Structure 1
Amino acid sequence: MTAHAFRLTRNSFGRLVLEMPDGSVHEAVVPVRAFPIGAPDDGLALVGSHGHELAWVDRLSDLAPATRALIEEELASREFMPEIRRIADVSGFVTPCTWEVETDRGPTRFLLRGEESIRRLPPPALLVADAHGIQYLIRDPQALDRRSRKLLDRFL
């Protein structure tokens, strides 16, 4: 869809409003990335309140700056996926256990319920889910420091 095929604004409640070329207006629109980790700027759907795709964007860079900014703001408020940069410590090698990690958003601790909470994504990435459902990304386990890799290997 081209940058001029729709108009995107915010209403007085801060929700995205999508106006289509045919004049139809859709409130509470949500942007959803097709490939949030592998290609975050390629392929994005604008989804209506009933879960149906209303518009498709091939690349965020194709959009007008104001529209792109609205979508990026909305995505930033919805997507919270810290990236693990270092595993400082684990409370034990039997789950559940507590992990102390350094992320791109600062240090944190979380409870890992089981090995199944670590998912393999398209190589080499991993996704680690804590007991509260927060997901942490390890973009490339081989890029971690030696100690972090050793601790992680005990769970893979």
Structure 2
Amino acid sequence: MTTQFELIRNPFGKLVLTTTEGVVHEGVSPVRAFPVQAPEDGISLLNNDGKEVAWIDRIADLPAAIGALVSEELSGREFMPEIARINSVTSYATPCTWSVKTDRGDTEFVLRGEEDIRRLTIDTLLITDIHGIHYLIRDLRELDKHSKKIIDRFL
């Protein structure tokens, strides 16, 4: 596979992108264009000034070594646990504490207000806690009856 750039990690752990023209960009950061709907498609590589220096249509289309670097960097920067079950809430009035089971383990967080639950699609929700951490419910239909009942009280 041919790419329009080379990507390596320097001794300081920063990604270094070199274009086919020989232009070197140190400390590039990958950013997903569609982190929920299409996390493996549409990745922008940004320089330190936040300007796009390269575009990746699909991680799977990259050479394996470059794809691994991009995926590794993304996973180190992103933290968005997926809620699998809502165990309990302290109150149906906000602010309240939610006890949830996620793909990263059990946790609790404080929901500041109902406006911190955003519907991304008909079945996908993004919940932001009081500290700005995002929790994803990828598919409401896959939640158990108890969890759905709690969500319905807030929507």
Normalising by structure 1, report the TM-score. Answer: 0.97
Give 1:77 shift: 0.3
- Percent of residue pairs bearing the same amino acid type: 57
Q: Give distance in 2, aligned partners of 1:3 and 1:87.
A: 45
3-state SS of 1:93 partner: coil
Q: Does 1:51 align with 2:50?
A: yes
Give 1:114 shift: 0.2
3-state SS of 2:98 partner: strand
Deviation per CA, 1:94-131: give whole Å up to 9, x if none.
Answer: 00000000001100000000001101102310000001
Task: Kindly report structure 1 stretches of 4+ aligned residues shifted beyond 6 Å.
Answer: none
The two structures, once aligned, show a CA RMSD in angstroms of 0.9
Aligned to 2:128: 129
Describe how 1:1-156 pairs up with structure 2 within 5 A: 3-156=2-155
3-state SS of 2:71 partner: helix
Q: Which moved more, 1:2-11 or 1:144-153?
A: 2-11
Any stretches of 5+ residues in structure 2 without a counterpart?
Answer: none
Normalising by structure 2, report the TM-score. Answer: 0.97
Q: Which amino acid aligns with 2:111?
A: L
Q: How many residues are aligned here? A: 155
3-state SS of 2:154 partner: coil
